[in-house]
Chains A and B, each alone.
Chain A
Amino acid sequence: MSDGQIKVAYWPGCVSRGFTPELHGSMAIVADKLGIELVTLDRANCCGAGVIAEHNQELADTLNARTFALAQQTGLSMMNICSTCQGAQSECQQRLDADSAYRAHVNEALSGQGLSYEKGKDGFTNKNFLWLLVEDYGLDRLKAQVVRPLTGLKVGPFYGCYIVRPKERLGYGEHPDRDIYLEQVITALGGEVVEYDGARKCCGFPVITMNRETSLKQAGTHVGDAIDAGADCLVTPCPLCHLNLDMQQPEAAKVVNRDLGLAVLHLPQLVGLALGAEPKELGMSKHIASTGWVEERLAGVPA
């Protein structure tokens, strides 16, 4: 935690500029409000989402080594806004960092582009916005920035698998509380944490094209459980979870055979609301499940 200016090499990922454009937009607004400077890696490529690694592990490792090398060129640590990017990139980084011979082999493919991924003495840092917010920005500093406390808003955390498992790979040794950061952020913003069964479960997105029934049953069950626990909304640091929990929510409702209708916010949107940004500029009107209830709950609290 520091009081200083934070500047990061920013990898927005693919989905935040595809089917969840509101995520990319709200991150820019929130970064501005928090004074975090984002140096966008616009030449970087898709993390592979685990799918490319399933096809050819070396290909996934090299593609991500390229992204890391591009970040290293800026001299900054890297930040992402997608649990899936975090997981897929951490997996590749773990292999690259484990063995210098393997790293040298992968770097061969990058040499033609004047790039090279170096493990470095202190290791390369790549953090999801959630981790950066708690570990580098700091919860006390965040609290001090809140102008519209989310008083009375009941928020269910939804992490996304890739940011909570496997613990051994994702830095839980050094940062054991990474699996309760969402709860800590919700509390820091003045909101109320809702405890329900699905917070660290799978949204089902990875099999949406392969086994739609299983996928939507997972999404529908978690949304339903959160509603039953009294949630006003969910919050997630993963745009792929958002696709299944929000975009597919009407379809998931059919599979679990019950009414749903629960707002699902991206993490920067929840932070943005507490920092005084308006729902519309945070792109909340682009969601499929209405965010009207959240806006109503907060209407009484002046920004």
Chain B
Amino acid sequence: MADYTIKVRRFQPESGEGPYWEQFKVELEPSLSVLDALLQTKDREDGSLAVRCSCRAAICGSCGMKINGQSGLGCKTQIGEAQELAEKKMGAVGGSAERAVVVIEPMGNMPVIKDLVTDMESTHWAKIRRVTPWLLPHGAPPEREYIVEPESMLDITQPMACIQCGACVSSCLSMEADPGFIGPAALAKAYRFVGDPRDAETKERLHDLAEDPHGIYDCTHCFACVDACPKDVAPMDQIMRLRRRAGEEGIEDPNSGHDHEIAFVKIIEKKGTLDESLLLQESFAPGIKGKLKPSKRAIKEMLGSIPTAIRGIKTGKMRSLPKLIPGIHHKLPDGAQDDVKAIYKHAEEHNEEFNLYIKGEEDVEPEPDEPTDAILGDEAAAAAESESA
């Protein structure tokens, strides 16, 4: 048994007061959970402390919360580990370990109903419904169930593992700045259907998600949802796969996300390293010198970047022609550029996706670079099982 202090962000709407912090002493084994600490407090100190929970085993997804600033499940975070993290954070800013307490807050990006209970409707469930989270098959339904090859479902086992806890939404740094963003949970759910071989409206789904200005191109690629997810869904990875699929469909989006991606890829093929001014120009107005007319948004964005460029010229940051004039960026030396081009040729022929979640890491290192058969990862198998159950 060990003693811990938890510091809980509390809020009671009926009191008419704003949120406040309250500290409680708890006594429990380090291997017990933060949720256990909260329940002990509720039992012994203050029965009015509100927290949502059910299974206590990281299955139901009810106890999403922020612990030391990190979004996750209260039942899946050990109090001893949380204390160690609090001490480390305290030490980093020059405080003493004795002052470190486990800080517990309600999930972020959501209104708080009471204490640690949040309203998941507007930022979680409404967004989940937004992506049409059910199968849309075409044709007459089969007499019994839809039959698919198990292998064809492997691709979506990762988003299938989602338990709708909202931890990713709580952690989302893009949503923090833009509440309109569809968000990690809903977009992971969207990929679950985009990748489903039974679904017949994949194209329509991709158009919908790419053409929404708060859709797949609104993700800032910060990995916060990847670390927050207690089930290894890696929502951001699913968003990147949606972008890849939308790109393969050639879908043009209002954020110029696809143009940006293509511009980037082409510049590296030609120059090996990034020509930043060409990237800007090609992202907004691809082919400006030849065929395409830039859109109104593109003109606005390009004009908007002029003050920044002028400031850069003034300080000397951009005072050189290769930095200012798109396209005159140098190439790699001595034939290295041809080596890069050869890589493009090879990779474009195969375009292979290596999904670590499904394939897993090799258990034993075989003889150097000896090919082996990929083995289905345990988690992928478990997720496939739980969905079919």
A contact set with B: CB distance below 8 Å: 14-15, 17-22, 42-43, 45-46, 48-59, 61-63, 66, 87, 94-95, 97-105, 107-110, 112-113, 118-119, 161-162, 165-167, 176-177, 180, 183-184, 187, 192-193, 195, 201-202, 204, 206-207, 209-215, 217-218, 221, 247-248, 250-251, 285-288
Distance between Cα atoms of A295 and B317 in the complex (Å): 19
The count of chain B contact residues (Cβ–Cβ below 8 Å) is 87
B382 at the interface (CB under 8 A from A): no
Closest to A120 in B: B368
Given that A54-B243, A98-B354, A109-B346 are known contacts, is A214 also in contact with B88, CB under 8 Å in the complex? no
Closest to A102 in B: B354
Given that A49-B264, A58-B353, A109-B346 are known contacts, is A19 also in contact with B336, CB under 8 Å in the complex? no
Segment 221-245 of B: residues with Cβ below 8 Å from A:
221-224, 226-227, 234, 240, 243-244
B332 at the interface (CB under 8 A from A): yes
- Do A207 and B88 have beta carbons less than 8 Å apart? no
Closest to B300 in A: A212
20 of the cross-chain contacts (CB-CB < 8 Å) are: A45-B332, A46-B268, A48-B268, A56-B347, A62-B343, A66-B340, A66-B343, A101-B373, A109-B342, A113-B342, A118-B368, A184-B92, A193-B94, A195-B93, A210-B217, A211-B178, A211-B213, A217-B177, A285-B316, A287-B317
Distance between Cα atoms of A49 and B261 in the complex (Å): 11
- Do B240 and A54 have beta carbons less than 8 Å apart? yes
B132 at the interface (CB under 8 A from A): no
What residues of B have a CB within 8 angstroms of the CB of A61 in the complex?
354
- Do A62 and B346 have beta carbons less than 8 Å apart? yes
Provide the B354-371 mask, 1 if CB < 8 A to any CB of A, else 0. 101001111001101111
- Do B312 and A218 have beta carbons less than 8 Å apart? no
- Do A201 and B311 have beta carbons less than 8 Å apart? no
Provide the B303-344 mask, 1 if CB < 8 A to any CB of A, else 0. 010011001100111100001000000001110100110111
What residues of A have a CB within 8 angstroms of the CB of B275 in the complex?
18
Among A50, A51, A63, find the residue whose CB has the most chain B CB atoms closer than 10 A: A51
Looking at the assembled complex, report how far the CB atom of B12 sits from the nearest CB atom of chain A, in whole angstroms: 25
Distance between Cα atoms of A102 and B369 in the complex (Å): 9
Tell which of B45-53, B184-192, B252-260 binds the partner.
B252-260
B123 at the interface (CB under 8 A from A): no
Closest to A209 in B: B283
Distance between Cα atoms of A221 and B176 in the complex (Å): 11
